Amino acid sequence: MAITDVKSNLAKLLATENLTVEHSNVRTASFNVDTRVLTLPIWDNISNDIYNLLVGHEVGHAIYTPNDYNTNINFPRSFLNVVEDARIEKLMKRKYAGISKSFYRGYTELNDKDFFEIQDEDLEKMSLIDRINLHFKIGIHNLSTVIPFKESETQFVDMTAAAETFDDVMEVCQKIADFIREQKKEEEKVAEVQTESKDGESGGEQVSVDSQSDQQNESSEESEEESKNFESSFD
């Protein structure tokens, strides 16, 4: 039996559901909570540990991510993917104790290969949501990779870790988005004061580049089908 067939059967057994499992040349694994299609990427030289990690993760969405939630959200879709990923992996480890080893070995292997491309990156300059993602993907599995957080940001790491329900996830995402917007406002105020001071006059051009708002606008334009597809944050 081909390895793809073996992993397809494993996914169905773990989910206790006759899922549709597809193997495609896609960027990352995903699960559509409406169509019940679990998509696994075709990667060269994929190890059994990484394969089990991907299957276990997507089955987590199949079991725990609802398909009847309100898609009219006021935060970037990427926030929902990251926080929900952390929740469903925690619940999968709780449900299937043995799968913890697959998550540990799989993420350790990906990190050793610098799959997340952070080896030469200044992690402190990465966005908050990206650092939260890395913390729950590799930070909690690999003690040699410590993801940095400011004191004001650690509360959101704790909130993400504590999320038990999907409603909890939505609440955490909103709080992260609100925090980032407030931080951005403060940065804009400082920039405006500095500009006014430099020019020696008021009404200087205000610097305002809100990438999170841009992401939010993009997320609000997603179709219903796209918004129900949980693409794993493995990159």
Q: What is the pLDDT of residues 147-161, one digit of tens each?
A: 999 999 999 999 999
> Which of the residue ranges 60-64, 100-104, 213-217 would you say has the lowest mean pLDDT?
213-217
Residue scoring higher pLDDT (20 or 206) = 20
In the predicted structure, residue 8 carries a pLDDT above the cut 70: yes
Kindly list the distances between the CA atom of residue 204 and the CA atoms of 37, 67, 145, 183, in Å, as whole numbers in the listed order.
Answer: 53, 48, 43, 21
Average pLDDT of the residues of the chain: 84
In the predicted structure, residue 210 carries a pLDDT above the cut 80: no
The confidence score (pLDDT) of residue 71 equals 83
In the predicted structure, residue 199 carries a pLDDT above the cut 80: no
- Cα–Cα dist 173/64, whole Å: 17
In the predicted structure, residue 124 carries a pLDDT above the cut 50: yes
In the predicted structure, residue 229 carries a pLDDT above the cut 90: no
Query: Mean per-residue pLDDT for 23-41?
Result: 92
Backbone angles phi, psi at 190, to 5 degrees: -60, -45
In the predicted structure, residue 202 carries a pLDDT above the cut 70: no
The confidence score (pLDDT) of residue 233 equals 62
Residue scoring higher pLDDT (65 or 204) = 65
Query: Mean per-residue pLDDT for 131-141?
Result: 92
- Report the predicted TM-score, pTM, of the whole model to 2 decimal places: 0.81
Report residue 16 as tokens. Answer: 């206790």
Percent of the chain at pLDDT > 70 equals 83
Percent of the chain at pLDDT > 90 equals 60
Kindly list the distances between the CA atom of residue 86 and the CA atoms of 61, 103, 120, 134, 181, in Å, as whole numbers in the listed order.
Answer: 11, 12, 25, 10, 23
> Are the C-beta atoms of 215 and 76 separated by less than 8 Å?
yes
Kindly list the distances between the CA atom of residue 209 and the CA atoms of 95, 191, 215, in Å, as whole numbers in the listed order.
Answer: 43, 11, 12
For 231, counting Cβ atoms within 10 Å of its Cβ (0-12 exposed, 13-18 middle, 19+ buried), the class is buried
> Which of the residue ranges 28-37, 150-159, 161-170, 204-213 would you say has the lowest mean pLDDT?
204-213
Query: Mean per-residue pLDDT for 178-207?
Result: 75
- Cα–Cα dist 47/147, whole Å: 25
Cα four-point dihedral sign 102, 108, 109, 111: positive
